[in-house]
Chains A and B, each alone.
Chain A
Amino acid sequence: MKKGRKVILFFFLLVFSSFTILSGCSYKGVDKRSFVVGIGIDPGEGIEKKFKVTLKIAKPIPSLKSATENEYAYLVHESDSVAEAIRYLATEADKVFDFSQAKILALNPELLSGDLFHLMDYFVRRGDIQLLLYVIAAKPSAEEVLRVQPTLEAAGENSLYNFFDNTGTESPFVTTTFLFEFRRDYDTKGLSAVLPIVKGDGGGTKFIVNHALVLKHGHEAVELNLLETKLYNSLKKGESGYGYQINSAGYKFTLTIDRIKMKSKFELKNGQKPRVAIKIKAVGSVNESNKLLQLRELDHYNKISEDKLAEQVTILFKDLQEKNMDPFGFGLKYRATRLHTDKVLDDWKAIYPDLEFDVKVEVKLKSVGAIQ
């Protein structure tokens, strides 16, 4: 063997022998991890215990065929901070927690007024918790919502996931808020964050998701009712679907909306009250009616629906304006449509309480369904 080769060989041996001092990858197999599927946070009850943290952990099942229903383990601990509670809970479990699969962050509404910084910090600071988890406001408490075991839940499934983001059910009543969205909207000046309210019901066998909670830094949270939640989801998020009740002029019908879109434009003239012109365009059809409908009368039905929707929307806008909440982001829109100066934000704060809403709805019903 040539000397040069020997040196190369020696070098390789040196490199490979140095591998023995490595401890191997610190990667743990699936059997050594317990997957956290949901995190719940309630106010603590003890003294100096700010938070009560609940972790919902999936119990491994040998195979989907042999499993009849889902089983979860719940770990609960109270502590002054979220991280501390989770660190403590790690001592109660024999496996390492894996947060990368967690998709639910349930928060008790009592925690949601005032400053959220301390509460939310842990979830954004930890890089391995996904920013795509669904944030929900849980009633009556986060722990109870996590403990709900729906009757329809199949093995290997987590039915709370199916509600959001049109994964399973599709409804204009369900608000979906991801963690990154919640953080963004909450921190933006001129925009308020909205969380879905999930109620555990039926003795822990059922979820109800059809209300929403509007949050803004330094303000009390405002709860949106059924109709308001639906309007918010339709107008802001473009959610469509069944369930637009029109009850006017002797008619009582339900619309299905295929597409809905909102545009807004500010009209600020000196000497006049600031106005925002809002144009809503909706395309859909009639789903249910209390009397026979004529095809040639579609324009008339459009008109009835337009008036009713405009009225509902204006009431919602005015209501939110009174409470100084802005989930539709008019403030952000205002800031985003003029060149930045230091005054823009202060201007907006002065404008918003006096802002007039000029709502124009254009409904285009394409059909009355399969019968007249």
Chain B
Amino acid sequence: MSRFVYYLILTNMLAIIMSPIPRLLLLRAGDGALSGMIVGIIGGALFTYVTVSFFLKYPGQDLIELLTKYTSSWIQIPVTLYFAFMWFIAGTITLIMTVFLLITFLTPVMSIYIISLSILITIFFGVLLKTKSILFTLEILCVLMIPVTVLMFFKMFTSHELDFDQVRLAVMHIKSIPDFTAFNASTFTFMGSANLIIFNKYFKEKQNISKWSIICITLASIFMLINSYLVPIGFTGFDEIDQLMFPWTSSADSVRMKFGFIERVVFIFMFLFVTISFISIIIHWHVAYKLLSSIFRLKSLQIKQQNFTPLLISFIFCAVGLWLTVSFTQYQLYEYSKYYYNILPIFAGVLFLTMLAIRKGATS
């Protein structure tokens, strides 16, 4: 497996901290969250295995090419539109959550328009980058950020104030029936591999997926889920955990480096995770944009050799993102993102069916 596949999966895992997932999990704490997560980990590992091994069979080809080659257009267009929608929403959820976090913890007096615009201007151009450049950006960010992130996680896990009795208390609730939302939310941790539907174009060599890579990915996601579920419980207590709006960030605020150059670790965390959520939004929207531009290419925007449809798509993404960020309340964000995660099984089903259709077309 190319190292870029790992980066794609890893970024998606890290970005769940900047998504509503920690809160959705913790809302069901003591009510099937933990067992849901365990089932979700198994489901997610299977999902990763199926998706990655499928795309490794078609090196250098993305889903758009495969669809046009092996299926008819009545499958291609609805499937592409549906995937574009799913990816766009995934990026939008991260965007709205990031803005809400910034406005709550860093700049409570700043206007929401200015915060979202300052993010969206970068993303506007980020989305339009070449797919390859995005992969390189991703690599640079991973190399720069992940060591610091690991150090910060280490600080968090070794903190004196982390109460292990609270964590144990949470683990004691393992016997309840798996919760559906918790299951879906934890499968989402693995869904970075689905980005291959576009990025597979750049993995041209024939590669294999080994048992070990799946084990490593599973371990990493278990770590991230523990991090987003058990660590907030250890810092803020099991009984009242559902009261926190941003449980993970509040827990990061409880960690400190007493004699470090910055005492409040939360600022370093914010910096790291805003960066990670930037790249995560760019990846998600880039996939959505590629999918859309494979269907739409407006003739009226053709000026000499240059076609401006990509600019238009990216602009529409940013405009819709801004509108949603400004108009959504926190309640709506959590409620609607819950619906989004709950339709993920349908998404996985559609993806698998498409793969089957392609395979059938390829063999016949």
Smallest Cβ distance from B189 to chain A, in angstroms? 25
Assess whether B239 is in contact with A338, with CB atoms less than 8 Å apart: no
Query: Pick the contact of A3 from B105, B110, B239, B304 — CB < 8 Å?
Result: B304
- Residues in B with CB closer than 8 Å to A7 are 303, 306, 308
B residues whose Cβ falls under 8 Å from a Cβ of A: 30, 104-111, 114, 117, 121, 160-161, 163, 165-166, 168-169, 172-176, 235-240, 246, 250-251, 253-254, 256, 258, 263-264, 266, 303-306, 308, 311
- Residues in B with CB closer than 8 Å to A3 are 303-304
Can you list 21 A-B contacts (CB < 8 A)?
A3-B304, A4-B303, A22-B114, A25-B110, A26-B107, A26-B110, A127-B108, A128-B106, A132-B253, A180-B254, A183-B237, A184-B235, A184-B236, A187-B239, A188-B238, A188-B240, A238-B160, A332-B166, A339-B174, A340-B169, A340-B173
What's the tally of chain A residues with a CB closer than 8 Å to chain B?
40
A178 within 8 A of B: yes
- Residues in B with CB closer than 8 Å to A187 are 237, 239-240
Query: Pick the contact of A339 from B106, B175, B258, B266 — CB < 8 Å?
Result: B175
Chain B residue nearest in CB terms to A331: B165
- Residues in A with CB closer than 8 Å to B253 are 130-132, 180
Chain A residue nearest in CB terms to B121: A15
A residues whose Cβ falls under 8 Å from a Cβ of B: 2-4, 7, 11, 15, 22-23, 25-27, 96, 126-128, 130-132, 165, 167, 178, 180-181, 183-185, 187-189, 237-238, 329, 332-333, 335-340
Chain B residue nearest in CB terms to A22: B114
- Residues in B with CB closer than 8 Å to A178 are 161, 254
- Residues in B with CB closer than 8 Å to A132 are 253-254, 256, 263-264
Query: Pick the contact of B105 from A96, A128, A185 — CB < 8 Å?
Result: A128
- Residues in A with CB closer than 8 Å to B258 are 165, 167
In the bound assembly, the distance between CA atoms of A132 and B255 in angstroms comes to: 8
In the bound assembly, the distance between CA atoms of A333 and B305 in angstroms comes to: 71
Using A132-B254, A189-B239, A336-B172 as known contacts, say yes or no to A184 and B163 having CB atoms under 8 A apart.
yes
In the bound assembly, the distance between CA atoms of A135 and B26 in angstroms comes to: 26
Smallest Cβ distance from A160 to chain B, in angstroms? 16
- Residues in A with CB closer than 8 Å to B263 are 132
Assess whether A340 is in contact with B30, with CB atoms less than 8 Å apart: yes
In the bound assembly, the distance between CA atoms of A332 and B166 in angstroms comes to: 7
Chain A residue nearest in CB terms to B114: A22
Chain B residue nearest in CB terms to A238: B160
Assess whether B105 is in contact with A127, with CB atoms less than 8 Å apart: yes
Centre residue among B104, B114, B121, B163 by max chain A CB count within 10 A: B163
Smallest Cβ distance from A208 to chain B, in angstroms? 24
- Residues in B with CB closer than 8 Å to A167 are 258
Using A180-B254, A187-B239 as known contacts, say yes or no to A26 and B165 having CB atoms under 8 A apart.
no
Smallest Cβ distance from B68 to chain A, in angstroms? 28
Smallest Cβ distance from B41 to chain A, in angstroms? 21
Centre residue among B121, B172, B246 by max chain A CB count within 10 A: B172
